[in-house]
Amino acid sequence: MIQSAGAGITIRTANDEVYKLLRLWITSGELAPGSKLSIRPLAEMCGVSTTPVREALKQLQADGLIVATRRSLTVTQLDPTHVRQVFQIRLRLEQLASEWAIQVVTEDDIRDLQEILDQAGRDSTTPPEWHELNQEFHRRFYDLTRSPHLLELIQTVWDRVEPYLAIYASSVDDFDDAQQQHLLLLEHIRSRDLAALLDELDRHLMYTADTIMRALGKTEPTG
């Protein structure tokens, strides 16, 4: 549930802080795809005037997270075709990152990745915790590319699919399948088998996309 920011936002940082807060609500799925937005209620929730909210919404529109018309503001909603397209873009970028990262991965890196998956696999891990660990696993590996430009592009695509990953998390009984896929990814990283890693990454991301589209009730045939 969305929590009010209250008096924690100062005038000096209002624009940036409101932007970060609204972006978080959108990418976490708290403001779901298709949600209608009203400036004054958002300002009340953020504990600020309407001016920084307007500025934040302009930036979010530039980010592609909000669609603005003459009469309304709406959280961007992707149809099933666009969901699949965004995941295809994500796949190409992450395959490139994997190609670069696997060339420099060390045993210490692999131990870090294993530790992340160990945490994700615990029975006590909650869905929100699992979601954070899922991102941490991929981010930890891709950071090895030392390519800020590639990482920025990947983060932009992640932001687009984040609300739909919240739909994914709420539509599965457990994360056993995804956990097994992550373990296979790590095994291919450990063995430095790039071809197998790229193939498994393809299966992993398309599995996630298909699960999201089933949850949306608009599954498209694959292949």
- 104 found inside a domain: yes
CATH at 11? 1.10.10.10
Does residue 109 share a domain with residue 192?
A: yes
pLDDT value of residue 220: 46
Same domain, 107 and 12: no
Residues 180 and 101 in one domain: yes
Taking CB atoms within 8 Å and a gap of at least 24, the contacts of 197-201 are 197/98, 197/102, 198/95, 198/98, 198/99, 201/91, 201/94, 201/95, 201/98
| C-alpha radius of gyration, the chain, whole number | 19
Task: Name residue 127's beta-bridge partners.
Answer: none
Q: Are residues 21 and 35 in the same domain?
A: yes
Q: What is the pLDDT of residues 24-42, one digit of tens each?
A: 888 777 888 888 999 999 9
102 and 198, same domain (yes or no): yes
Residues 121 and 176 in one domain: yes
Domain boundary among 75, 90, 118: 75
Task: Return the pLDDT at 26.
Answer: 83
Backbone phi and psi for residue 66, each to the nearest 5 degrees, phi listed first: -135, 140
DSSP bridge partners of 75: 66
In a domain, 222, yes or no: no
According to DSSP, the residues that pair with 68 across neighbouring strands are: 73
Position 159 in a domain: yes
Q: Is 42 helix (H, G, I), strand (E, B) or coil?
A: helix
Same domain, 52 and 88: no
Cα–Cα distance for residue pair 129/140, rounded to 1 Å = 16
List strands edge to edge, sheet with 73-75.
36-37, 73-75, 66-68
DSSP β-ladder status, 66-68 and 36-37: unpaired
| Number of compact structural domains in the chain | 2
- pLDDT one-digit tens code per residue, 43-71: 999 889 999 999 999 988 887 788 888 78
The pLDDT assigned to 69 comes to 82
Question: Which residues of the chain register pLDDT less than 70?
Answer: 1-12, 166-173, 217-223
Domain that holds residue 50: 6-75
pLDDT at site 171 = 62
Give pLDDT, residue 127.
Answer: 77
Asked if 60 and 133 sit in the same domain, the reply is: no
| 188 occurs within a structural domain | yes
C-alpha span between 31 and 71 (Å, rounded): 19
Do 68 and 143 have their domain in common? no
Does residue 218 sit in helix, strand or coil?
A: coil
**Residue 113 placed within a domain:** yes
84 and 63 within one domain: no
Q: What is the pLDDT of residue 222?
A: 42
On whether residue 1 sits in a domain, the answer given is: no
